[in-house]
Amino acid sequence: MGHGTNGTILRVDLTRTTTRVETFDDDFYRTYPGGKALAAFHLLRDLVPGADPLGPDNVLILAAGLLTGAPISTATRFNAIARSPLTGGFGESEAGGYWGPELKMAGFEAIIVTGRAPEPVYLSIRDGSAEIRDARHLWGQDPLTVQTAIRDELGDRLVRVLQIGRAGENGVRYAMIMNELRHYNGRTGMGAVMGSKNLRAVAVRGTRKYVELAHDPAALSEIGKRLAKQIPNHPQGWDLRTKGTPGLTDVQNAAGILPTRNFRYGQFEHADALGLDSYLQLRTGTRTCYACAVRCKPEMAFSDRYTVTNTYDGPEYEAVAGFGSNCGIGDLQAVAKANELCNELGIDCISAAGTIAFAMECFENGLIGPADTDGIDLRFGNIEALHAVIPLIAERRGIGELLSQGSRRAAEVIGRGADQFAMHAKGLELAMHDPRGKVGVGLGYATNEAGGDHLVGFHDPLWVNRDSVAFRAAMDLGITETSETRDLGPTKVRTWYTAERWNSAEKVLGLCFFGPAPRSFIQVADVVGAVRAATGWDIGVDDLLEIGERAVNLARMFNVREGIAGAQDHLPPRLHAPLENGPLQGVAIQRDEFERAVADLYEVKGWYPTGIPTRERLRALAIEWTAEAAGAGT
Q: How many CB atoms lie within 10 A of CB 148?
A: 14
Same domain flag for 208 and 257? no
Report pLDDT digits (tens) over 410-420.
999 999 999 99
Yes or no: say if 193 and 53 are a contact pair by the CB < 8 Å rule: yes
Residue 92 forms beta bridges with which residues? 81
Asked whether residue 528 is domain-assigned, the answer is no
Which of 149, 157, 96, 159 shows the shortest CA–CA distance to 127? Answer: 159
Which of 272, 317, 279, 319 shows the shortest CA–CA distance to 300? Answer: 279
Q: State the Cα–Cα distance between residues 323 and 360, nearest whole angstrom.
A: 12
Same domain flag for 375 and 514? no
Tell me, what's the pLDDT at 124?
98
Q: Given the DSSP bridges, would you call strands 183-185 and 199-205 parallel, antiparallel or unpaired?
A: unpaired
CATH number at residue 411: 1.10.569.10
Which of 219, 178, 213, 217 shows the shortest CA–CA distance to 195? Answer: 178
Q: What is the dihedral of CA 77, 516, 313, 34, to 10 degrees?
A: -10
Is 338's pLDDT higher than 70? yes
Yes or no: say if 212 and 132 are a contact pair by the CB < 8 Å rule: no
Tell me, what's the pLDDT at 1?
58
Alpha carbon of residue 268 to chain centroid:
26
Same domain flag for 408 and 492? no
Asked whether residue 123 is domain-assigned, the answer is yes
Q: Which of 395, 429, 463 is the last residue of a domain?
A: 429
Q: What is the mean pLDDT of residues 339-352?
A: 98
CATH number at residue 500: 1.10.599.10
Asked whether residue 219 is domain-assigned, the answer is no
Report pLDDT digits (tens) over 542-558.
999 999 999 999 999 99
Is 236's pLDDT higher than 90? no
Give 210's pLDDT tier (boundaries 50, 70, 90).
very high
Q: What is the mean pLDDT of residues 91-99?
A: 98
Tell me, what's the pLDDT at 3?
82
Q: What is the dihedral of CA 148, 152, 155, 161, to 10 degrees?
A: -30
Same domain flag for 278 and 373? yes
Q: Is the peptide bond before 583 cis (omega within 30 degrees of 0)?
A: no
Query: Residue 469: how many CA atoms within 13 Å on its side-chain side?
Result: 13
Report pLDDT digits (tens) over 168-193.
999 999 999 999 999 999 999 999 99
Alpha carbon of residue 620 to chain centroid:
28
Q: State the Cα–Cα distance between residues 562 and 626, nearest whole angstrom.
A: 13
Percent of the chain with pLDDT over 70: 99
Q: How many CB atoms lie within 10 A of CB 475?
A: 13
Asked whether residue 217 is domain-assigned, the answer is no
Could you give phi then psi for residue 275, rounded to 5 degrees? -75, -175
Amino acid 231 reads I
Asked whether residue 342 is domain-assigned, the answer is yes
Report pLDDT digits (tens) over 507-539.
999 999 999 999 999 999 999 999 999 999 999
Is 582's pLDDT higher than 60? yes
Measure Cα distances from 29 to 42, 209, 215, 561 in Å. 13, 20, 14, 24
Yes or no: say if 252 and 433 are a contact pair by the CB < 8 Å rule: yes
Is 444's pLDDT higher than 60? yes
Q: Given the DSSP bridges, would you call strands 8-13 and 110-114 parallel, antiparallel or unpaired?
A: parallel
- Count: domains in the chain: 3
Query: Residue 317: how many CA atoms within 13 Å on its side-chain side?
Result: 20
Same domain flag for 315 and 356? yes
3-class DSSP state of 203: strand
Give 632's pLDDT tier (boundaries 50, 70, 90).
low
Same domain flag for 552 and 418? no
Report pLDDT digits (tens) over 102-121.
999 999 999 999 999 999 99
Asked whether residue 463 is domain-assigned, the answer is yes
Same domain flag for 198 and 258? no
Same domain flag for 405 and 507? no
3-class DSSP state of 559: helix
Query: Residue 430: how many CA atoms within 13 Å on its side-chain side?
Result: 32
Is 287's pLDDT higher than 90? yes
Same domain flag for 78 and 157? yes
3-class DSSP state of 221: helix
Q: What is the mean pLDDT of residues 303-328?
A: 97
Tell me, what's the pLDDT at 219?
97
Percent of the chain with pLDDT over 90: 95
- The number of residues in the chain equals 634
Is 482's pLDDT higher than 60? yes
Report pLDDT digits (tens) over 110-163.
999 999 999 999 999 999 999 999 999 999 999 999 999 999 999 999 999 999
Is 541's pLDDT higher than 80? yes
Q: State the Cα–Cα distance between residues 598 and 605, nearest whole angstrom.
A: 11
Report pLDDT digits (tens) over 351-363.
999 999 999 999 9
Q: Given the DSSP bridges, would you call strands 110-114 and 428-429 parallel, antiparallel or unpaired?
A: unpaired
Q: Which of 429, 453, 474 is the last residue of a domain?
A: 429
Q: State the Cα–Cα distance between residues 273 and 388, nearest whole angstrom.
A: 22
Is 630's pLDDT higher than 90? no
Yes or no: say if 44 and 557 are a contact pair by the CB < 8 Å rule: yes
Asked whether residue 476 is domain-assigned, the answer is yes
Same domain flag for 180 and 265? no
Give 566's pLDDT tier (boundaries 50, 70, 90).
confident
Q: Which of 404, 429, 454 is the last residue of a domain?
A: 429
Asked whether residue 47 is domain-assigned, the answer is yes
Tell me, what's the pLDDT at 629?
81
Give 59's pLDDT tier (boundaries 50, 70, 90).
very high
Q: State the Cα–Cα distance between residues 361 and 122, nearest whole angstrom.
A: 40
Q: How many CB atoms lie within 10 A of CB 229?
A: 9
Q: State the Cα–Cα distance between residues 79 and 94, nearest whole angstrom.
A: 5
Q: How many CB atoms lie within 10 A of CB 153?
A: 16
CATH number at residue 42: 3.60.9.10
Tell me, what's the pLDDT at 134?
98
DSSP states along 582-633: STTTT----HHHHHHHHHHHHHHHTB-TTSPBPHHHHHHTT-THHHHHHT--
Q: In whole numbers, what is the pLDDT of the chain averaged over residues?
A: 97
Burial class (CB in 10 A: 0-12, 13-18, 19+), 162: buried
Q: What is the mean pLDDT of residues 353-380?
A: 98
Measure Cα distances from 309 to 239, 283, 313 in Å. 25, 11, 9
Same domain flag for 165 and 263? no
Yes or no: say if 36 and 555 are a contact pair by the CB < 8 Å rule: yes
Tell me, what's the pLDDT at 206?
98
Same domain flag for 425 and 450? no
Yes or no: say if 155 and 58 are a contact pair by the CB < 8 Å rule: no
Residue 160 forms beta bridges with which residues? 204
Tell me, what's the pLDDT at 631?
81
Q: Which domain holds residue 383?
A: 245-429
Q: How many CB atoms lie within 10 A of CB 473?
A: 23
Q: What is the mean pLDDT of residues 93-106?
A: 98
Measure Cα distances from 3 to 8, 104, 218 in Å. 13, 13, 14
Give 565's pLDDT tier (boundaries 50, 70, 90).
confident
Tell me, what's the pLDDT at 237?
87
